[in-house]
Structures are given as C-alpha cells and as structure tokens.
Structure 1
Amino acid sequence: MARRVLAIRGLLPPFDLDALAAEYGDLDYLNLPYGVDGITIGIGGEQRPQILVNSAAAPTRRKFTLAHEIGHIVIPWHTGTIVSHLDPGHADAAYAQMEAEANRFAAELLMPSDWLALQFERAGSVEKYFRTVHATAGTSQEATFYKLFKSLPSPVICLQVDNSSRLLKAKRSPTAPYYQPEEGALIDPAYFAANNRYETFEIDGQCYVSWTFIGRDIAEIDSRPWREIYGTILDDTGMRANLQSINAVLAGAFNKSRALSEQDICGAIYRAFDNYQQYGQVVNHPLFEQYVIKRVKELKQRR
C-alpha cells in the first residue's frame, strides 16, 4: 500500500511528507499528553480525517509518526479514531496489530524497498549505504537500522555492537547466511571465513560491524549436461544415496537468491553448503563448480 501511494504520485525520498499528509487529512502539530505519538480522528467517515502529531517529540519521531498516521488512513480496515503509540507495549492484540501494520507502512513509505536496493548498489559499502539512507530519508538511526536490510536483495549481515564488540542488535538480509548470536556475545570478525567484505564503522556514537557476501564467478567449461556431471561426482564420492538431498540444498539456496545475479546465486549456493559438512566431499570435488553453474543456468531459464 505504501509503494502504491508513492507510485501514484511519482515520489522517492526525500519528499514533502506534510504535503502528502495534507492530501489525506487536516494536519496539526500539538503537544499531546500521556506519551501519545499521534492521533487520527474520523478515519473512514464522511468528513476529512484530522491528523494530530505530538510536537514535543524529536523531529525524526514526528516524521515517522506522520507516516504512521497516513498508514492508518490508507489501510482500509483501520477506521474510526486511533490513538497511536509507535511502541504500543502491552496493548491488546488487535490494537498492537494495527500499530505494527502502520509502522510497517511508515517504514516502507519513508524508505521504499526498491529505492533501498538502488542506494545499496550505488553506495559500494554498508557504511555509506547506512549514512545515505539515514540522511536522505530523515528517519531515526534506530528506524533506519531496522529497515535497511529487511528486504535488501544483496546478502548482508549488520550488527550493532558496544565498545567491547559485544552484540546489541542484529539485522540480516533475506539472502544472507543465518547468524543470530545471543545478545552480549563477543563478535568475531573472522566468523565467516571467506567470500565476504567485512566493515567496522561508527554513526552518531553507535558502533556497527557488517559482512557483505560476495558472489562466486564460475565459467562453464564442461560441455556435458549437469545430470551426467552430478552422477560422476556422486559416484566418485560414494554419495549416490544423497542425490535428492544435495539437489534440495542447491534448489533451496537458488530459490532464496533467485532475484540476484548468476554470480551471487552461485555464492549463495556455496554458503548454503557450509551448513552441511557431511557433503564436504561433494563440494570439494573438482566438478562441483560445473554442477552448480549448470544447475543455476537451467533454473534461471525455467524462471
């Protein structure tokens, strides 16, 4: 819904959020009591809704609140008068769900997923990506960190750490390897051995580390079909009984990364097999690269 709002008006960050809100309701900034972030009155009624935003909040919170209130108006099953708390705490389930939906709408409105992917490609580093989005979208550092990697096609893991390199918060993109250390765990820069770009950086006094995982460039040099190559690998390693399960690991990694380049998909497949040490002989076989690239090409052609 947020993407549709932006597409209809041809908007990309940064844009005038107050002007956009004025298309949906009458906007006013007031000092609201009881920790209320915003109130939208008359959603779905005959009159234009009234949008009230807490003027005492920090500028980044006011901006997110306003996007959140637009979400309440746009999301069709949000009706009536809604008193908004960006952090609803122990509210009842129905209210908490509405607030979560409006928060997701606000994050996508201010930091659209397709726009984020483009910023990442242009940035060349996680630090520059973070700084660019934070400055351009005008969102808080916390909201930016939450959204940066949520739908990012590229495989990235980013951790917020303290001055002793102990974990505070962890975020990863959908195609990144699974890695979820416990809060307070000491972070090891060498946890991922190869095929990644490691960064450390600081933004506004907060420390971060990140891994950006690099693709694997494989030249197709064997003329045989992949099934024949795969059969040779299985016979040489004595792993014929694992034919289907190995194929399933590759197919699963492909499906998670299918929107990426051929090179990045190959890298994702190799990372997937890092979790299956029992298939080490197969992965280390000299023909495994040819099996991977031929399977990737076939699966991409099907798609």
Structure 2
Amino acid sequence: MVEQLAEVRTETWSNPCDALTIGLGTKHPVVFLRAGAYETRRRFTIAHEVGHLVIPWHVGTLAGCDTGSDFDASRTRSESRTAAQESEAQKFAGALLLPYSVAADAFASSTAQRALEELAKSGMSAEAFCLSITRYLLPGFVFTVEGENKYWSPGSNRANASEIDEHAHETGSFTVSGREVQYYRLASRSEPAQSVDDDIRTDTELLRAAVSLGGGTAEEQEARRMSLNGVVAGKLSLLRTYSPDSTYSMLMYHIGQKPDIPARIIESAEFERYLWRRVNGRLASLKKK
C-alpha cells in the first residue's frame, strides 16, 4: 500500500527514529525506513507512515519518533502540532492493522481471554497491540507487557495503579510476537442481580426511582438523573463491543468511579435494570445497521 502512495527507501542510520517522510502534501513524497527493524515493528511503522500520507492536514516532513501525545506549556506551537500529527498517525496505524470491526466481533463471540489470544495474531508488536486494543475497550481494562508499563482503556480509574492485581476481578495472559502480555479486568458483575423482564416501568421511571435513593430536592434529583442518563448515552454511543454482559460490566465500573454518584443509587435494583435495558437496546440497534 505505501508504495502506491510514495517512493519508499530503506536506509541505515543511527538516529532512533524508525522512519522519515518528506514531501507530505506534495505530488512526490518519499518515505525513508530504517534498516534492521524487526518485522512486527516495521509493519506498524509502515502503517504509521501511511497515516501521514493519507491524512490531508499532515504536510511537510515528519519523523517516525516517539514524540508522545500529551501537550504541555513548554512546547512550541510547531512541536504541539507535530505531536498531534504523530498521535493521529499512531491511531491510524492501530486501526489499519487491528480494525475495530474485527475486535468487536472477537469480543462478541468469545471470552476476553480467547478474544485477545485471537486478536494477538494481528502481526503487531506487543506495545503497539496494547495501544491499539485499549482504544476499543470500555473502562476497566489494563495491559502490561512482561510486567513493564501499563496500558489503560479510556476512562479507567488509575488511583490504584500499583495494585491492579489486587483489584482485578479477572486476569489472564497471552503472547504477542513472542512477548507475554498480561491483562486485568477491573469491572465485576456482568448482569443485574435481579430479573429485568418482569419490571413494567419505563427506563425513565427506573432511573428516576434509583436517583431518588440519593436524596436531595426534586430539582437536584432531576439534574442528577439527566446527568447520569447523559453519561450512559455518551458511553453507549462509543460502544466498543457487542457483548451485553461485558458492556454492562464496564459501564457499572465506569459510573462507580464517579465520586458524585452515591453508591446506593448505583447498587439499586432500579439502576441495574435501567442500565441493562439501555445496553441491550443499544446493542439491538447496532445489529440492525
């Protein structure tokens, strides 16, 4: 693919950058790849450079180095723009080598352990795999590569980062390109404790009943109900798995980390029923598309 977009040259250099692309935004861009990189790293590097080539606002010369994705006040405007472009190319590479639809199907039809074992065959390095897969998961997943570094799914609570093994409800390991990757699932119960089918109340009525357990004036309760409903709707709109039990579990974990939501609301039968219905309703609408 990259050869159709640019001239590609393989060169030897001492600089730690794996690639350099010049002429972005012109008719004749050139991609320089560092010789000697192992295959899985090279595949991700090429996919990364393809991202630079096809994202229209990436112009000029960009080096495939680890510039990071966080912004800070000490960076110049040019440095911040470069960091943003590198982050975008990194996300593009992950999506190209490990598409969302493939990951969603894997998690929908299997356990987390089996899904990850299958997805690990994507031909990526262990670090690139962890960076890519975490973007597809709801809050509550943590990955480590041979006990080093930590890769968190968005929205995960990092307060107990040094003790994740003690707080995990599920753990497992699998191999990516010859390296061991450990995963931790911090979310717990995957379905409501009580039956949902026999409750004739609407979603709004269930949530309103749950919120009333937190006390406060009528206005405060309605504001909390709308806030909770918005949080759930927002997370469901970014749904990264078609499995109802794992989606429910991850949402319960995420909402449970919010200090402004009393535990008696989240732990109520009404809230569990409300959330389970919302999850299944969203999944049903996705399957129709």
Under a length normalisation based on structure 2, what TM-score does the superposition of the two structures give? 0.71
Identity of aligned residues (%): 22
Partner of 1:179: 157
Give CA-to-partner distance per residue, 1:238-289, whole Å, 9 cap, x none. Answer: 8252522541224413431254566666545544246458734445555555
- Unaligned 5+ runs, structure 1: 1-19
Partner of 1:216: 191
Instruction: Label 1:161 to 1:275 Cα distance change in 2 as closer, same or farther (>3 A).
Output: farther
Instruction: Label 1:221 to 1:70 Cα distance change in 2 as closer, same or farther (>3 A).
Output: same
Considering Cα pairs closer than 8 Å and 6+ residues apart, tell me whether 1 or 2 has the greater RCO.
2
Partner of 2:232: 253
Instruction: Label 1:243 to 1:22 Cα distance change in 2 as closer, same or farther (>3 A).
Output: same
2: CA distance, partners of 1:245 / 1:158: 33
C-alpha contact (below 8 Å) 2:41/2:124 kept by paired residues = yes
Partner of 1:16: none
Tell me by how many angstroms 1:53 deviates. Answer: 1.0
1: CA distance, partners of 2:97 / 2:202: 47
Q: Which amino acid aligns with 2:130?
A: F
Alignment root-mean-square deviation, CA: 3.9
Does residue 106 (structure 1) correspond to residue 93 (structure 2)? The answer is: yes
Task: Give the secondary-structure state (helix, strand or coil) at the position aligned to 1:73.
Answer: helix
Partner of 1:169: 150
Does residue 157 (structure 1) correspond to residue 144 (structure 2)? The answer is: no
Q: Which amino acid aligns with 1:28?
A: R
The counterpart of 1:86, out of the listed 56, 65, 73, is 65
The counterpart of 1:69, out of the listed 42, 49, 57, is 49
C-alpha contact (below 8 Å) 2:191/2:276 kept by paired residues = no
Under a length normalisation based on structure 1, what TM-score does the superposition of the two structures give? 0.68
Task: Give the secondary-structure state (helix, strand or coil) at the position aligned to 1:187.
Answer: helix
- Unaligned 5+ runs, structure 2: 69-74
State how many pairs are aligned.
266
2: CA distance, partners of 1:168 / 1:186: 13
Task: Give the secondary-structure state (helix, strand or coil) at the position aligned to 1:151.
Answer: coil
Tell me by how many angstroms 1:129 deviates. Answer: 3.3
Question: Counterparts in 2 of 1:116-155, with a 5 A limit?
Answer: 116-126=103-113, 128-136=114-122, 138-152=123-137, 154=138
2: CA distance, partners of 1:286 / 1:45: 60
Partner of 2:71: none
